[in-house]
Chain A
Amino acid sequence: MFELIKYDLKRNKMIILAFSLIAIYFLAVNMNYWLYALCWMSILPFFPLSREEKDNGYEFLISLPVKKENIVASKYICAWLITAYISFVFFLLPKILETLPYLKFTGTEGLINVSTIVLGFAIISFNICVLFPLFFRFHSSKIIIIFIILSSMFCGLVFSLQKYSAKPGDFFYGYCRFREGIETTALAVNGSVGIFGLLFVFACIIYCISYISCKISVEMLKRRGQPLFYNLRLKHNKLLAN
């Protein structure tokens, strides 16, 4: 599986680099940084999948001595790694750059904190979990509409959240803190680190959803190229024959 991840990252290194440059560009132009960042972030994890499809890679990978489960898992891990990297570039890199005296980016000043990053990561994770099984089952041209609708919905959500809070993630964080009393969990020592409790809960949810999504994707990959409800139709035909 390590080989599969390595080769995916290797093949997509130019795209990852291009996205890093885009991030820095948006940072410099200082316009709705959040919105742009999220749009680009949500697209990037899908590149390895669509690239594989363009190269007829699925049929090739399936013919190699590797389990379908490993092929799917490697794509998920690769997507997470890319998401983590791009989150770093879009959100943490500006923070680091801000500390440098002569490199002053104003685009993200006052906008970025841990809860903002968590929100971005959550949105992309949800996107991955919903869309990956579809990518494994169908040709990407068939699901591009779903992809655009989902991405637009999330971007719209983030944009509207800016009305309620300067830091979009804080809106959710504040809401969760009020509802769940996160600061009182074992992981949180005081109010300032309460975010880690939320992070832990968030990580557990993401893990569960990803696991289910991954299982569905394996089944989807096995059925790739088959007509819809093929197995049901097969069972139906067998029953009729009996």
Chain B
Amino acid sequence: MENILEIKNLNKQYDGFSLSDISFSLPRGYICGLIGPNGSGKTTIIKLIMNIIPKDDGSIKVFGLDNEADEVEVKSRIGFVHDTPDFYKESKLKIIKEIVAPFYIEWSDEKFMGYIDKFELPLKKKFSSLSLGMKMKFWLAIALSHNAELILLDEPTSGLDPVFRREFLEMLSDIIQDERKSVLFSTHITSDLDRIADYITFIKNGKLVFSKTKDEIFDNYGVIKGGDEITNAKYENSICGYKKTSLGVDALTNNIQGIKTSLGDKAIYEKATLEDIMYYTDKKETKA
């Protein structure tokens, strides 16, 4: 399987934050969701892929090319949407399109106008007069109009209404149907990923927790509810995090079958959602 994106031992340091040893890859023809709490480093990873900020160490290969040495070619094949897309606020949408289009060799006005109609965007209006959702739709139209092979989206669904969000996710599914394109998008809304993602990459405090297929995650992760024996040292390797309550212990495991065999009827087992995984990971919390 050919990888469209390969990140190895990526490092970046800021004052008070560091991204350490991030390695993951995305095969061609799949959708990968980048999840993690606020400030975990999702946007930093996306900016590093786009070479908006320089990396300290490690390597980023996109389409098999180095993202710094072959910057122009790499970027021309990526459709990118920023997390805060407030650029050229006082310009009309038509003008912004005129600025962007000449930079892409494969730009298609036909496709762009198709998306403009579909998203019902007013080309003659100023960018600042649009709602957050409309702004995001506009940048999506731009990102999807130049035949990009990798679509890189930073929190694209955060400002969208539920109806358009679902349509948008279907659109992403359609994009990868030809098996030549891939999508990497960061989000807080984990239900979006439940619907369409093939791979999930989870980042916490600048460190990679896992990067696996969605099936692998849902087969192995689970929430267990039971007594204090869950926090016993012999289960340490299988328990990712737990919360003690007055009723007992709620914990997340990455080895649901193993725990089931050991604990048997002493606990209740539930399927873990991505939200559960984000919530419980590394949590060692005791509540009265």
Interface contact B87-A56, CB-CB below 8 Å: yes
Interface residues of B (CB under 8 A from A): 13-15, 50-54, 56, 71-76, 80, 82, 84, 86-91, 98-100, 102-104
Q: Which residues of B contact A57 (CB under 8 A)?
A: 87-88
Check B80 against A63 for contact (C-beta < 8 Å): yes
- The listed residue (B14, B52, B54, B86) touching A63 by CB distance below 8 A is B52
In the bound complex, residues from chain A placing their C-beta under 8 Å from that of B84 are 56
With a 10 A CB-CB cut-off, give which of B14, B91, B99, B103 has the most chain A CB atoms: B99
A66, B72: Cβ atoms closer than 8 Å: yes
Which residues of chain B are near A56, meaning CB under 8 Å? Answer: 84, 86-87
A60 within 8 A of B: yes
Q: Is A139 an interface residue (CB 8 A)?
A: no
- Can you give 17 A-B contacts (C-beta < 8 A)? A3-B103, A7-B99, A55-B90, A56-B86, A56-B87, A57-B87, A57-B88, A59-B87, A60-B82, A60-B87, A60-B88, A62-B50, A62-B52, A63-B52, A67-B72, A225-B53, A226-B54
B75 lies within 8 A of A234 (CB): no
CA distance A88 to B73 in the complex (A): 40
Task: Specify which chain A residues have a CB less than 8 angstroms from the CB of B104 in the assembled complex.
Answer: 65
* Bound-state Cα–Cα, A237 to B13, Å: 11
Q: Closest approach, in angstroms, between the C-beta of B262 and any C-beta of chain A?
A: 41
Interface residue from A3, A60, A67, A234 paired with B56 (Cβ < 8 Å) = A234
Closest to A70 in B: B72
Q: Which 5 A-B pairs have the closest CB atoms?
A: A65-B76, A65-B75, A60-B87, A3-B102, A64-B103
Bound CA span A237–B84, Å: 32
- Bound Cα distance A66, B74 (Å): 10
Instruction: Note all chain B residues with C-beta closer than 8 A to A215.
Output: none
- Chain A residues, Cβ within 8 Å of B72: 65-67
- A196-238 contacts to B (CB < 8 Å): 222-223, 225-227, 234, 237
Known A7-B99, A65-B74; 8 more pairs at CB < 8 Å: A60-B88, A62-B50, A63-B82, A64-B103, A65-B71, A65-B103, A66-B72, A66-B75
Q: Using Cβ atoms and an 8 Å threshold, which residues of chain A touch B71?
A: 65, 67
- In angstroms, Cα B13 to Cα A234, docked, is 8
Q: Which residues of A contact B98 (CB under 8 A)?
A: 7
A234 to B50 alpha-carbon distance, docked (Å)? 21
Interface code A1-25, partner B: CB below 8 Å = 1, 0 otherwise? 0010001000100000000000000
Closest to A8 in B: B99
**A59-103 vs B, Cβ < 8 Å mask (1 yes, 0 no):** 110111111000000000000000000000000000000000000
A13 to chain B, nearest CB (A): 12
Chain A min CB distance to B139 (Å): 10
Given A65-B75, A67-B71, A227-B15, verify A222-B54 contact (CB < 8 Å): yes
Task: Find out whether the CB atom of B50 lies under 8 angstroms from the CB atom of A63.
Answer: yes
Task: Quote the shortest CB–CB distance from B20 to chain A (angstroms).
Answer: 12
Contact between A55 and B100, CB atoms less than 8 A apart:
no
Q: In the complex, which residues 168-196 of chain A have their Cβ closer than 8 Å to any Cβ of chain B?
A: none
Which B residues are CB-close (under 8 A) to A223?
Answer: 54
Given known A55-B89, A55-B90, contact A66–B56 (CB-CB < 8 A): no
Q: Closest CB-CB distance, B13 to chain A, in whole Å?
A: 7
**Residues of chain A within 8 A of B54, CB atoms compared:** 222-223, 226
B76 and chain A: residue at smallest CB distance: A65
| Bound-state Cα–Cα, A64 to B79, Å | 10
Most chain B Cβ neighbours within 10 Å, of A63, A222, A237: A63
- Could you tell me the distance between the alpha carbons of A67 and B75 in the complex, rounded to whole angstroms? 10
Distance of A47 from chain B, by nearest CB (Å): 14
List the B side residues contacting A62 at CB < 8 Å.
50-52
Whether B88 lies near A55 (C-beta < 8 A) is yes
**Distance between Cα atoms of A64 and B78 in the complex (Å):** 9
Q: How far is the CB of A121 from chain B (nearest CB, A)?
A: 30
Report the Cα distance A233→B13, complex, angstroms: 10
Residues of B within 8 A of A66 (CB): 72, 75, 103
Chain A contacts for B50, CB-based, 8 A: 62-63
Q: Give chain B residues whose Cβ lies under 8 Å from the Cβ of A67.
A: 71-72
Q: Specify which chain A residues have a CB less than 8 angstroms from the CB of B13 in the assembled complex.
A: 234, 237
Q: Are B75 and A59 in contact (CB under 8 A)?
A: no
CB distance from A51 to the nearest CB of B (A): 10
CB contact list, A22-73 vs B, under 8 A = 55-57, 59-60, 62-67
Point out the residue from A64, A222, A225 that lies within 8 Å of B75, measured CB to CB.
A64
A11 — which chain B residues lie within 8 A by C-beta? 91
Please indicate the chain B residues that have their CB under 8 angstroms from the CB of A225 in the complex: 53
Docked complex Cα distance between A59 and B54 (Å): 13
In the complex, the answer to whether B52 meets A59 with C-beta atoms within 8 Å is: yes
